[in-house]
Amino acid sequence: MLRALSASPVRKSNLIPIRSHTARKRFGQNFLVDRHYIERIVAAVDPQWDDNVVEIGPGLGALTRPLLERVRRLTVIEIDRDLAARIAGEFPADRLALRNVDALSFDFATLGGDLRVIGNLPYNISSPLLFHLSRCDASLRDLTVMLQREVVQRMAAAPATPEYGRLTVMLQARFRIERLFSVPPAAFRPTPKVESAVARLVPLGAARPRIVDEALFAEVVGAAFGQRRKTLRNALRHLATPQDLEGAGVAPGARGETLAVGDFVRLANALA
């Protein structure tokens, strides 16, 4: 189910005061400061007291505080040493487990099962981080993340649309994706130049398609969208012959953007 994206106007009275900290561009830091959107994100997650919740990039704690009001114990992943020290000094260790590491290299499976991941993901690493998290899908209950609005549109896109591409196929092969609501630039400090949006990703579980060779599947999808105007006959010539494509029920003259996720799975499995 895809909901329409909508954003409410930002009111100055809703903005929480931001404590002294210089945002670091290399970490893609834009801090959410609007109470209205903080409350909407927490309400969308609706965490329960014993849920296994992990927050990526707590920053100045805008989401951390209301989350700790709802859960017994919260794990946070923060790469910035200064912010990690600030978070550690504000919250008791028996309630908050801090990991001062890069989320891109962190093994989320070590946190146990039924994980509920939440976060305002750095836009400069959003796609690699989503791919990293997707490899832990067996340990996840859901992901509720804020990203650049354009990225959310690509994640939830349908075939034969301009937004449909490699990111779409790779994520939809593992998750049901729901667009929740958009967040305007004025809700952040510093103010980004792009619109943001919140999305929920739920692992497909038993409904996840069986992929024989994950690496080959990724290679097929990447090649199909490497040059969007190329037909599959040309885009996949190093991987498949026209006869291979036809044998998998794929027209050699089709373009990758016209194939559904199931078509890519069937093709990659046939080639494997």
Burial 127-136, CB ≥16 within 10 A → b, else e: bebbbbbbeb
Q: What is the pTM of this model?
A: 0.89
Q: Is there a single domain that holds both residue 164 and residue 38?
A: yes
Whether residues 196 and 75 fall in one domain: yes
Shared domain for 112 and 235, answered yes or no, is: no
**CATH number of the domain that residue 232 is part of:** 1.10.8.100
Yes or no: say if 229 and 255 are a contact pair by the CB < 8 Å rule: yes
Is 63 inside any structural domain? yes
Q: Does 170 map to a domain?
A: yes
Whether residues 199 and 228 fall in one domain = no
Pull the structure tokens for residue 75. Answer: 């794990």
Rg (CA), the chain: 20
Q: Write out pLDDT tens, residues 152-177.
A: 999 999 999 999 999 999 999 999 99
Residues 226, 155: one domain?
no
**pLDDT given at position 49:** 98
Same domain, 199 and 229: no
Tell me the pLDDT tens digit for each residue of 5-25: 556 655 555 665 556 555 555
Does residue 16 lie within any of the structural domains? Answer: no
Given 206, 228, 244, which residue is the final one in a domain? Answer: 206
Mean predicted confidence (pLDDT) in 256-271: 98
pLDDT tens per residue, range 195-236: 999 999 999 999 999 999 999 999 999 999 998 899 999 999
Judge if 226 and 158 occupy the same domain: no
28 has a pLDDT exceeding 80: no
Query: Do both 29 and 63 map to the same domain?
Result: yes
Q: pLDDT per residue over 61-103, tens digit each?
A: 999 999 999 999 999 999 999 999 999 999 999 999 999 999 9
DSSP code of residue 147: E
> Quick check: is 158 in a domain?
yes
Q: Confidence band (pLDDT; 50, 70, 90) for 117? A: very high
Q: Which of 167, 183, 206 is the last residue of a domain?
A: 206
50 and 128 belong to one structural domain? yes
13 within some domain: no
Residues 53 and 150 in one domain: yes
pLDDT at 132 over 80: yes
Q: Residues 44-67, buried b or exposed e (16+ Cβ, 10 A)?
A: ebebeeebbbbbbbbbbbbbbebb
Q: In the prediction, which pLDDT does 2 show?
A: 43
Domain boundary among 164, 186, 206: 206
The CATH code of the domain that includes 49 is: 3.40.50.150
Q: Does any domain span residue 12?
A: no
Distance CA 37, CA 186 (A): 11
Do residues 92 and 201 share a domain? yes
Q: Is 15 among the domain residues?
A: no
Tally of structural domains, the chain: 2
Range of the domain at 224: 214-271
Is residue 2 a part of any domain in this protein? no
